[in-house]
Amino acid sequence: MSSSSERDGAGQGNTAYGRKRFKRSRSHFADRITAAGEDGWPVEAGRYRLVVSRACPWANRTLISRRLLGLEPAISVGVTDPIQDDRSWRFTLDPGDRDPVLGIRFLSEAYDARETGYPGGVSVPAVVDVPSGRLVTNDFQQITLDFATEWTALHRDGAPDLYPEALRDEIDEVMEGVYRDVNNGVYRAGFATAQDEYEDAYHDVFRRLDELSARLAGQRYLVGETITEADIRLFTTLVRFDPVYQGHFKCNRNKLADDPVLWAYARDLYQTPGFGDTVDFDHIKRHYYEVHTGINPTGIVPAGPDLSGWLAPHHREQLGGRPFGDGTPPGPPPEAERIPAAGQP
């Protein structure tokens, strides 16, 4: 999670949100970890550490993919504090305020180890090479695709095919519209600095959500009969919609819960192993409302919404479909990674 206004002054960058035109930064470090290791980074169990913020939708994608594919033993995860300081993402949730594997206090240290004086944003998700402490990639669009297609030798038995070759053209088309108008659209609305800029983004968000609602009225998943990468990418925005985007980002035509199709679809995924068990509503709310001081200067975190509805019956199984295809659901998350379910202590 990064914008073009961030660098080692996440404080400065976050204060600028809502005062400076928003532009999504491109991933500067786009090396890939592949089975053949073409970029010098071969797939290897235990070699890499995935650094995430549970607040970040882009990072949430990687946590879901990792869980569904059973990559927990192959790539460890480091979780940053949802509240940044002026040096951006920090490991203050860990003993001694250091990541226990990388030994660093701030994610920026891994960026600096890769490129001294790098002028861009310090973003999550990020994959770090453990032996060297160097950042490998922060390419949030590619990391999960590579998890699905390049890390297959380390997938669990029964792992689903999240990016089936026969459906890739359709998945890519759906994901492109979801990214432009929904994933990124809510940010364009939330960080807009002019009325027309905001309204353009607002209309894009709800036009696309209406199209997706119509598409999902007659099918359980976005593409095909099983969960794919497209569902992962839409879910991470939908699950944040009512707690954050509807109010904080002024995407307030209606709540997600007011759309019976999208609300049921989101609940269906949330209740599917690998999805809801990666969602930390506390981290989500505290990050957006406390960090984005440019649009919420008081730093007050709303008490609502009521989250218990996420566990209500959704009845989407009546549309058919098999969540994991010929595969099986993942087992429970590792004890150290467990998060209370919505509405639970």
Digit-coded pLDDT (tens) for 161-187: 999 999 999 999 999 999 999 999 999
Question: Rounded to an integer, what distance in angstroms lies between the CA atom of residue 64 and that of residue 144?
Answer: 9
Question: Rounded to an integer, what distance in angstroms lies between the CA atom of residue 62 and that of residue 113?
Answer: 23
- Whether pTM > 0.75 for this model: the answer is yes
Distance in Å from the first CA to the final CA of the chain: 28
Q: Average per-residue pLDDT in the chain?
A: 93
Instruction: Classify residue 40 by its DSSP letter.
Output: S
Residues carrying an active site annotation: 56, 187
- 3 pLDDT band, cuts 50/70/90, is very low
The secondary structure of 244-289 as a DSSP string is IITTTT---SS-GGGSHHHHHHHHHHHTSTTTGGG--HHHHHHHHH
Instruction: Taking residues 110-131, report their average pLDDT.
Output: 93
Question: Rounded to an integer, what distance in angstroms lies between the CA atom of residue 90 and that of residue 111?
Answer: 13
Instruction: Taking residues 103-109, report their average pLDDT.
Output: 97
- 28 pLDDT band, cuts 50/70/90, is confident
Digit-coded pLDDT (tens) for 253-278: 999 999 999 999 999 999 999 999 99
Instruction: Classify residue 85 by its DSSP letter.
Output: B
- The answer to whether 238 touches 310, Cβ cutoff 8 Å, is no
Other CB atoms within 10 A of residue 40 CB: 11
- The answer to whether 198 touches 26, Cβ cutoff 8 Å, is no
- The answer to whether 41 touches 150, Cβ cutoff 8 Å, is no
pLDDT of residue 154 exceeding 70, the answer is: yes
